[in-house]
Structure 1
């Protein structure tokens, strides 16, 4: 029987609340010196990314996030034995301790910006004079546009959308960044998404972070929606995987 590993924390944390993890097994602490891992027994092998397993993992982490500073593991992290996990915690004690210090007292918040318009490409084209003129030349001349003409226009559209995203992302980060310990930009998903930000925020500064988001929203295009998510464990700032052993 192996161990499913949820997170790593400091041994001076208080007792964990009663928790049920994957396969409905109880989760508990495995202490090694000044560190501990939150684990539950699990058959050695891959834990499938099924809804029930993902939900069980998230349930454990959410229950701990309010009161403990933890380094979350990658989903599906399994170690073969307690001895293997103890060895990992001992070997990487310095690195893990430094990362715990980095996220001490903080949680992760997400901030997503999206264009609330039917056609984001047309929206950007209308606000980019050079691109608008190129579109007119391509599709409203007397001859039908060639394949190369379409490719060039597509490249111009892609670049204009990238510049629009970069400008709005930089604008928001300049305002919101002061309320965070760290703020990073993640890849966007889909044409409508303008920014996908992850913020490491002190628990005591959460109100300040939300106020900064509202301030930034008031300074940004009316067609851009701001969506705050969290709080979560800081997955995008620290992550260790004992199964790498």
Structure 2
């Protein structure tokens, strides 16, 4: 028996590139109902999912569509149903209004993610300059044996962590403020690293992409040697669609 693996939902008229290969090298096709279409590929019922290659294939299909500016509502990795009729009746027909509303929301728009990381010890050195309590505690325990200054060292770690959190929040707000004029929505993402300044997703109209990238370049010049910025995308709009189809980080 062959199931259908589901990558996401798009319009029934979407012009898919040929060939588009998904998990296990199977061709990606559309199962349609009325105005919606589910992006699917064959998946043997006895084939387990969950390998790194499976996840990468899932992401590759969706990112290829995003690069081609084909609007798609991305599904969480691992979605599968037993066949075309079930997909048409239980997925597309039952949720068509919500899917069409989300597709309209992202029409002509792309998701761009901006990540920032502090370079070297720039943020820590700024904390030492800007936070007198940090410098005072640091000087107080300098040369004091660890066993005799345990509480002060613990307090120093807490004060530094709090100061770094304030700095990261401020820099993330500054990044969002600089790029928001070129975006319709902004969504914060959980930081992937301790030294990450920000991890922000933006929903950007295609005509605003040049201005968005120029704003990143300008902020990069201002933060040269302090923060390294990286632009990722265009991506499927993981952060800007409804909850029916789930969200993938």
TM beyond 0.5: yes
User: In 1, distance between residues paired with 2:212 and 2:3?
Assistant: 40
1:228 aligned partner: 231
- SS of the residue aligned with 1:37? strand
Q: How many residues align?
A: 242
- SS of the residue aligned with 2:200? strand
Aligned: 1:217 with 2:220: yes
1:67 aligned partner: 69
**Runs of 4+ deviating beyond 6 Å:** none
User: In 2, distance between residues paired with 1:50 and 1:171?
Assistant: 39
Structure 1 residue runs of 5 or longer lacking an equivalent are: none
User: In 1, distance between residues paired with 2:188 and 2:61?
Assistant: 27
1:164 aligned partner: 167
Contact 2:69 2:108 in 1 (8 A): no
Structure 2 residue runs of 5 or longer lacking an equivalent are: none
Aligned: 1:42 with 2:43: yes
Deviation (angstroms), 1:206: 1.1
Q: Which deviations, in whole Å up to 9, do the C-alpha atoms of 1:74-114 show, x marking residues without a partner?
A: 11211222233221211111221111111111111111111
Structure 2 length-normalised TM: 0.86
Aligned: 1:93 with 2:96: yes
- SS of the residue aligned with 1:139? coil
**RMSD over equivalenced CA pairs, Å:** 2.5
- SS of the residue aligned with 2:218? helix
User: In 2, distance between residues paired with 1:27 and 1:237?
Assistant: 24
Contact 1:168 1:220 in 2 (8 A): no
> Is the alpha carbon distance of 1:208 and 1:97 closer, same or farther for their aligned partners in structure 2, counting shifts above 3 Å?
same
- SS of the residue aligned with 1:14? coil
2:195 aligned partner: 192
Deviates more, 1:26-35 or 1:48-57: 48-57
Deviation (angstroms), 1:135: 1.7
Deviation (angstroms), 1:67: 3.2
Q: Which deviations, in whole Å up to 9, do the C-alpha atoms of 1:173-200 show, x marking residues without a partner?
A: 1110110111122121223211111111
- SS of the residue aligned with 1:236? coil
Structure 1 length-normalised TM: 0.88
